[in-house]
Amino acid sequence: MWRYMLAWAASAMVTFAVDLTSLKTAKDPQVLLDTALECARSQDPANLNALAESLGSVSFLARLDSAADYQGPPQQLRLAQILATIADNPTAHRVLIALTSQRAFTSFEPRQELLIRSLAAVRPAPAEAIRFWELHSTPTSPYLHVTIDALADNLSEPALQLLEKRVVDPKYDRESRIAWMRDPILRHRTDLAMLRICEHMLTTTLSATMRPQLVEALSDYRREWYGSDSAPRPPDLRRASEEARAELRKICELALSGVRLTKSQKAAVQSTLNDLATKTK
């Protein structure tokens, strides 16, 4: 019985082996997509190497998505499906890292955006990802805000250190920095790693004039902050870990004693402290 099962398994592996030649020869975009997705889900180094090579090929990229395809949102490209699948497979993350230095891939802006977002899944963020995010988070970068989102979503120490550098830097306009507090930082305000970097900003690196806005983003939520229907949803404090609640409590107490807050900001901080006390009873 076991011999039969092993033989069947070996046969199945042969039957469903990825046809890597199609990555170089196929002209049908659906065939290219299906093959690339198989590679992206794979644990086999040969499949992942072939995928990395293909994604760095002008020919493959042109056969996968046409010039007309690139007229729409990048998220609708076949390439977006491939990168999302790679992001879901930790074994394949080395493909994303390799793409940061592939000029054929990064020379086109829509692909830059997809890679910026996909790298958020690679934790902890490697040096290659940090360099790529640094490049795309300069004050004049077209993907500045996309990169700030990715840094916050990554939540690893190297990414959050770069996020802090951008938030505290006066070269970036004040309104943008407040927007980062009220969106990517707010979305992660119950994550311990984000709270710790926010404490460091409040006590060390952030200017006194910006500290009230960060406190507000960590303790309040107002629909009027947002001008569109895509306002972020504040995370549920009840789902935060004990460590995160303790850190948020510490931040609130520091804010009440050491940050110049308005009456409404103080009320939001006190309300958060009350919620924290209720949760821990």
User: 88: closest CA among 37, 128, 54, 152?
Assistant: 37
206-245: per-residue pLDDT in tens? Answer: 999 999 999 999 999 999 999 877 899 999 999 999 999 9
114-172: per-residue pLDDT in tens? Answer: 999 999 999 999 999 999 999 999 999 999 999 999 999 999 999 999 999 999 999 99
1-60: per-residue pLDDT in tens? Answer: 444 443 433 333 333 578 999 999 999 999 999 999 999 999 999 999 999 999 999 999
| DSSP state string for 233-257 | PPP-GGGS-HHHHHHHHHHHHHHHH
> What is the spatial distance between Cα 211 and Cα 191, in angstroms, rounded to a whole number?
19
> What is the spatial distance between Cα 34 and Cα 40, in angstroms, rounded to a whole number?
10
Contacts of residues 271-274 at CB distance under 8 Å and 24 or more positions apart, as own/partner, are 271/219, 272/218, 272/219, 272/237, 272/248, 273/249
The pTM assigned to this predicted structure is: 0.91
> What is the spatial distance between Cα 153 and Cα 22, in angstroms, rounded to a whole number?
35
Structure tokens at 183: 């969106």
